[in-house]
Amino acid sequence: MSVFILRSLVEGLKAYYDKLLAFASLAGLLVSLVYLGNMLGNIQDMQRNFDNVIERQRPQHPELAILDEKPLKKMAEMLDSPVTTGEWVRDMFVPETRVWCVDCKRPIPINAKQCPFCLKDQPLDANERYDRDLDHDGMWDGWEVEHGLDPSNPRDAFEDPDGDGFTNAEEFNIEESARTDPKDPNSFPPIEAKLKVMEIKADQFDLKFKGAVKLPDGSVKFQINLKRGEKTYFVRLNEDVRGFKVVKYTNIVVEVQDSSVGRRKEDRSEIVLQRGDKQVPLRLGEEKPWSELVAKLEFSVDRSEYIVKADSVITLKGNEYRVLKIDTDNQSVVLERKS
């Protein structure tokens, strides 16, 4: 009985096999369509959520700083020209002498001028320093070699090979950027440095106004004496007397009471002398208690001497200097170089 039923079932399946297969295929396709439709809805929801998240985002740095290209360029230069440490000259298993880099502290060859790791320049050996002074003459060895001097001869500090009046040491011992060429006679430090104040004293004013005479042409000639009377000068307006110019004359006559003759006229005329921006009024017959400072300067290049007062002008090696001030407290003279 059971065998008959099983046989009938198999024959039935054979008769409807193609229909069952078609039904199963359609059912699978339907399930797939339902699944894809559901997934499509989920994808759209995920996209909307993603768009919402993006819209809510705000930049952390609204203004972006300008990109510094220096590190990139530096790395490119390192790739084009890598730092080398030289050829290995030691035997196998014999280590090379190394020192620490002054910056990154990594071991580098002892003679390396630059660290191959951080590119930091390494300090020079004492014997290679430009500012070494082997002979202790106050001049750097590098500067001496640069200008043809002997860095092992201390006596050359006192020599003047170009004859400009300045020793090698004097041409070196000024501000570094202003140092001059010890082999060039036209290259030297400020020439006023060779001036030395020898003496400063007060020069008593020794002029005395003694009289005025009106000449036929209407002009006036003035008699000016030295206080001690050893010399007399006759000058007109705008003429010089001992470095002063007569710049003004005022004729003043007043009446005074005299016990012996009663009232009489007295001449109190006045002239004004000027030197530079200083004016000295002189009244007829009166002595002026005025003095000015006088300085004695020595120019050590040729041992020449100059006697100067305020506003005096002296010439040194073709350059003119005006005396601005003579200072007794500091025993100094202030000069201004004229352009």
Domain ranges of the chain: 126-188, 197-201+293-337, 206-289
Confidence band for 89, pLDDT divided at 50, 70 and 90: low
Which pLDDT belongs to residue 318?
80
CB 292 within 8 Å of CB 310: yes
Question: What pTM value is reported for the model?
Answer: 0.43
- Amino acid making up residue 317: K
85 has pLDDT over 60: no
Q: Which helix (H) or strand (E) holds 34?
A: helix 17-56
Name the residue among 220, 221, 224, 270 with its Cα closest to residue 244. 224
Single-letter code of the amino acid located at 58:
R
CB burial of residue 321 (10 Å; 0-12, 13-18, 19+): buried
Between 292 and 105, the more confident residue is 105
Query: Which percentage of the chain shows pLDDT scores above 70?
Result: 90
pLDDT attached to residue 15: 66
Name the β-bridge partners of 296.
Answer: 199, 307
Give me the residue label for tokens 């170009």.
162
Mean pLDDT of 97-108: 88
How many residues are there in the chain? Answer: 339
Amino acid identity, residue 44?
Q
Instruction: Express each pLDDT in 185-219 by its tens digit.
Output: 988 888 878 888 999 888 777 888 999 998 888 88
Residue 164 — very low, low, confident or very high, per pLDDT cuts 50/70/90?
A: confident
Is pLDDT of 134 > 60? yes
